Amino acid sequence: MALNKEHRKKRIIELRKLLNDYSYYYYVLDQPQVPDIEYDRLFRELQDIESKFPDLITSASPTQRIGAKPAAAFPQIHHITPMLSIDNAFDEEGVLNFDRRIHERLHLEDGAKIEYVCEPKIDGAAVNLVYENGVLTQAATRGDGDVGEDILQNVRAISSVPLRLRGSKFPSLLEVRGEVYMAHKNFNKVNLEASKLGHKSFVNPRNAAAGSLRQLDPKITASRSLDIFCYALGALKDYVLPQTHSEVLIMLKDWGLRVNAEIKTVNGIKGCIDYYKLIATKRDRLPYDIDGVVYKVNDLSQQKELGFVARAPRFILAHKFPAQEELTRVLNIEFQVGRTGVLTPVARLEPVFVGGATISNATLHNIEEVWRKDVRVGDTVIIRRAGDVIPEIVSVVKDRRPKNTHLIELPKLCPICGSKIIKSADEVAARCSGSLFCTAQLKEMIKHFVSRGAFNIKGLGDEVIDKLVDANIVKSVADLYSLSQEKLVALERQGEKSAQNILQAIAKSKKTTLAKFIYALGIREVGEVTAQNLAMHFGDLSRLMQASIVELEAVPDVGPAVASQIVSFFSEKRNLELIERLRQSGIYWPQQESSLEKRLYGQIFVLTGALQKMSRDEVKDKLYELGAKISESVSKKTNYVIVGDNPGSKLDKAKKLGVELIDEKKLLEILNIG
């Protein structure tokens, strides 16, 4: 029996390797090695052996893709690294601006060409996969970017997702991002079967993929024949990264992860636009849905230098295809009041189905947009889902305009608080002058204050905030820190347990960071990234509050307009009083060193050639810590060029411009490294 079992164990290993190899050639390389009937025969043989020796079954066996019982719910999973959003462009001008910004941030000359990786933007559901020692151990939806839902058992049912990585030279931990989709033929098949059974059909393949991933029974997911394309790394341990994104994709493919065959590396932004046009001509012939293409800076060191803004990388752009359009009628135009008092006209529409969703509202951005497009109540309009997300009115069908319509006028008084509406000549936005006396502004301000990027006070949702303001319990964000359980429980449909949770979250929020405090104040034009830059630059709130426009403009990403808003905010007496109340309530943050105090503040370094004692990334990190800036190109503003072995053309340019050259020994002295 022992010999027989040992023999079967060897056969199991052989069968698993064969089946995994055949799957790799079939799904990843699109080069089937054997007929389906042979694959099925080997699969059944493996099933038969494992049924007789169940103790030899492992989670990575091809037979275990659908082995789990239906789940009761989906637990939450924290991604190792956040799954960020991507900025969009809808025309060539937006793409050219993207390229221009990259050149500016990398300090490249106008003629220098960036190398980009171009790929189709799959219209599916984003997932995050984690492999530990080569074995798939975690799979999650994107969720809010930080936390997603655990869908491991369902992802295991997708044949093109390897349960074990190929080869032996892979990292101890690999986090990889992919897009799960449903091919057209499978989408048609699923809807046909649903129709026969009298079930509701899916609207489009994207909805079908997302819905299939969230089935509680993995067998249902398996029956939907989903596929995946992997497109990026999240985290990596115990492995040396290559220098480019295109090499990363090759690496993923070698490990058995499926990568789109349409991906192409181009030189310069014109190559990106040409790629967009090419894919647009092939779009209808592709076996899956795409809604645009994605451009990524290929050089990983350049990606790191470009960094991120808010929740999006600066080195990636999605160039979207024109969205679907439809006709509908404007039923009314109302004005909403935002956190900073801005009035936004919103068109209430006769519901219409556009791009896979029913649309009944569309933003008109500002009153000048309403006048420019001449949108009136009763008009028939062309509606579009810009980027397949934000509904907008494209234009009015004038020959269908009913009689007795009239131009939309800007309200003289705020529709919420009755305060005067003001509009300066140099701004398109109109604002309510009521400030935080306007309950609409107060509510939006509090929602911003408690949001994830600010104080992250869980439990204080929109409904609770609305009730607190309407009941006149909270008149400013500082009032949150004097809330009592009695006040919370007195609210309609508010229990004691949830009230306790809210109070605990408020107490916990008192320990924060300077960057989060600055962002939470809601200063106009100051987002999360700008707040972070301000905190790093000044290191102290009082120093920021006293800064002049000139001093503020020295901060990265802060121009004259933003600097003016910051100075204006801190010159308002009521804002200073609010800050004092917040500090007195017990809010605090760890002290941090100002960039101004750092030894190499403002110094610009350029690296060329290979270093012996430190990697390029280590050098860059150390220089950043000391307040220096790193550039990829030499210019008159460069202070030092670090010269290693086999330097490139940057050395010649540095000599031509008279920039000071330093070798690795001098660099280590500057960094105080013996």
Residue type for position 670: I
The torsion of the CA quartet 302, 305, 309, 315, rounded to 10 degrees, works out to 0
DSSP one-letter string for 144-208: TSSEEEB-HHHHHT-TTS-SB-SSS---SEEEEEEEEE--HHHHHHHHHHHHHTTPPPPSSHHHH
| The token pair that represents 259 in the structure block | 């990568």
Q: How far apart (Å, rounded) are the C-alpha atoms in residues 564 and 558? A: 10
- Are the C-beta atoms of residues 63 and 50 closer than 8 Å to each other? yes
User: What tokens appear for 591 in the block?
Assistant: 């002290």
Task: State the Rg of the chain over Cα.
Answer: 29
Given 121, 264, 443, 516, the catalytic residue: 121
> Mapping DSSP to helix (H, G, I), strand (E, B) and coil, where does residue 7 land?
helix
Outline where DSSP puts E strands in 417-515: 421-422, 431-432
Residue 397's CB is within 10 A of a number of other CB atoms, namely 12
Instruction: Compute the distance between CA of residue 471 and CA of residue 465 in angstroms, rounded to an integer.
Output: 10
Whether the CB-CB separation of 456 and 450 falls below 8 Å is answered with yes
End-to-end CA distance of the chain, in Å?
Answer: 65
Which of 317, 291, 322 is closest to 384 using CA atoms?
Answer: 322
Question: What are the start-end ranges of the E strands in 427-566?
Answer: 431-432
Of 262, 204, 265, residue with least CA distance to 229: 262
Answer whether 335's CB lies under 8 Å from 343's CB.
Answer: yes
* Distance in angstroms (rounded) separating the CA atoms of residues 582 and 339: 19
Task: Return the ∠ at Cα 257 (arms to 252 and 259), rounded to 5°.
Answer: 80
Per-position DSSP letters for 486-497, written without gaps between them: HHHHTSTT--HH
Instruction: For helices 573-584 and 560-571, give the axis angle rounded to 10 degrees.
Output: 70
Q: Has 121 been annotated as catalytic?
A: yes
Q: What is the Cα–Cα distance from 562 to 537, expressed in whole angstroms?
A: 15
Angle at the Cα of 227 (from 224 to 231), degrees rounded to 5? 150
Q: Is 337 helix (H, G, I), strand (E, B) or coil?
A: strand
DSSP string, 592-616: ---GGGSTTTT-EEEEESB-SSS-H
| CA gap 38, 264 in Å, rounded | 34
Burial 651-667 (b: 16+ CB within 10 A, else e): bebbeeeebeebebeeb
Q: 31 in the Ramachandran plot: left (φ > 0), alpha (ψ -120 to 50) or beta?
A: beta
Q: Are 256 and 28 in contact (CB under 8 A)?
A: yes
SS3 453: coil
Q: 3-state class of 93 per DSSP? A: helix
Q: Which of 196, 220, 232, 243 is nearest to 122 (CA)?
A: 232
Token pair 């006209």 in the structure block, residue? 345
Instruction: Please state, in angstroms and rounded to a whole number, the distance separating the CA atoms of residues 326 and 317.
Output: 27
Residues noted as catalytic: 121
